[in-house]
Amino acid sequence: MTTLIDIQHACYSYRQGEALTLEDISLCIARGEYLVLLGHNGSGKSTLARHCNALLVPDAGRVLVDGIDTRDEVKRQRVRDCVGMIFQNPDNQIIATIVEDDVSWSLAVRGMRLPEIQERVAWALNAVGISHLANRPPQKLSGGQRQRLAIAGVLALRPQCIIADEATSMLDPLSRREITNLLHQLRQTYQIAVIQVTHLLEEAILADRVVVMERGRIIQEGTPAMIFRDLDMLRALKLAIPEPLEFAHRLRGLGYPISPEALTLEAIAREVAGV
Ligand SMILES: Nc1ncnc2c1ncn2[C@@H]1O[C@H](COP(=O)(O)OP(=O)(O)OP(=O)(O)O)[C@@H](O)[C@H]1O
Ligand SMILES: [Mg+2]
């Protein structure tokens, strides 16, 4: 797999002379990869995420997106179209009074012709599963549907990567799972890379790779099974351990040889049953 985003020794502070918010971060994100960025409040996740689509540029080091240096102001729009971002509150991203207009707006300002706009809007709404809501006002949609709309708005620009920065944190547990499932589905169907920023370990279980941040640094990196092996490290970072992981830990203590790859209750049940 080739590299889509290449972060090289990036350092960043919000105010000159103050402590670094990002301290010598080096990280490559591959095309089509599903990466979860984990860490508790204030560890620098959002700051790093904002470096991936040139909302912020590093004070030292550099970030290349599809080969473009994010400091290159002339090509900044290309970087932003390549890496779309959705945030905690979808309402900050919704501007139109009708769902389909909201998706078409960013295409129209880029000078796209109507047939192409219509085709992309229909495609994006279908991809996120809200085609049936195309003519509704966004404020009539549920929280989960509004987050789907925000994703459609980003998707219509045909990005190579979507960053979801705590995009599920305002949702109920069911909608939260649905949005995470949707991101996985978009990655699978369209080979779009996903960077999911979260402090919820359960959202990291299906990722290709998990990167753990603490105080502006990357302190761990690996597959979910590798990261979840060290529950004490995760507890020390004040991350809530999901029930299945605690359960598997207890079973191992009782002598059951549960594989570190078993991260869901179903997988653990299969291990115990020996199937
Ligand atoms: N706009 C800003 N101006 C000044 N300092 C900021 C700004 N945004 C974030 N910070 C500080 O930078 C540090 C990292 O913040 P950041 O938002 O990147 O962390 P985070 O891991 O995303 O946290 P959270 O889980 O709360 O979203 C924190 O100490 C925060 O207070
Ligand atoms: Mg954040």
39 lines ligand 1 (CB under 6 A): yes
The pLDDT score that the predictor gives to residue 274 is: 81
217-222 β-sheet, strand order = 83-86, 161-165, 193-198, 34-38, 209-214, 217-222
14 lines ligand 1 (CB under 6 A): yes
Which residues in 71-84 are b (16+ Cβ under 10 Å) and which e?
eeeebbeebbbbbb
Q: How far apart are the CA of 195 and the centre of ligand 2, in A? A: 13
The pLDDT score that the predictor gives to residue 16 is: 86
Q: Whole-angstrom Cα distance, residue 40 to residue 9?
A: 22
The pLDDT score that the predictor gives to residue 275 is: 67
> Contact at 8 Å (CB) between 32 and 191?
yes
The pLDDT score that the predictor gives to residue 18 is: 86
Within the chain, which residues score under 70 in pLDDT?
Answer: 275
DSSP calls for 164-188: EESTTTTS-HHHHHHHHHHHHHHHH
Q: Compute the Cα dihedral for 83, 130, 209, 245 and give only its sign.
A: positive
Tell me the pLDDT tens digit for each residue of 166-210. Answer: 999 999 999 999 999 999 999 999 999 999 999 899 999 999 999
Among residues 47, 48, 55, the alpha carbon closest in space to that of 29 is found at: 48
Atom of ligand 1 nearest to the CA of 41: 25
Pairing type for strands 161-165 and 193-198 reads parallel
Q: Whose CA is nearest to atom 18 of ligand 1?
A: 44
Q: Whose CA is nearest to atom 10 of ligand 1?
A: 14
Atom of ligand 1 nearest to the CA of 46: 22
CATH number of 3-241: 3.40.50.300
User: Would you list the domain boundaries of the chain?
Assistant: 3-241
CB atoms within 10 A of CB 247: 16
| Ligand 1 pocket mutation pick from 11, 12, 13, 21 by most atoms within 8 angstroms of CB | 21
46 lines ligand 1 (CB under 6 A): yes
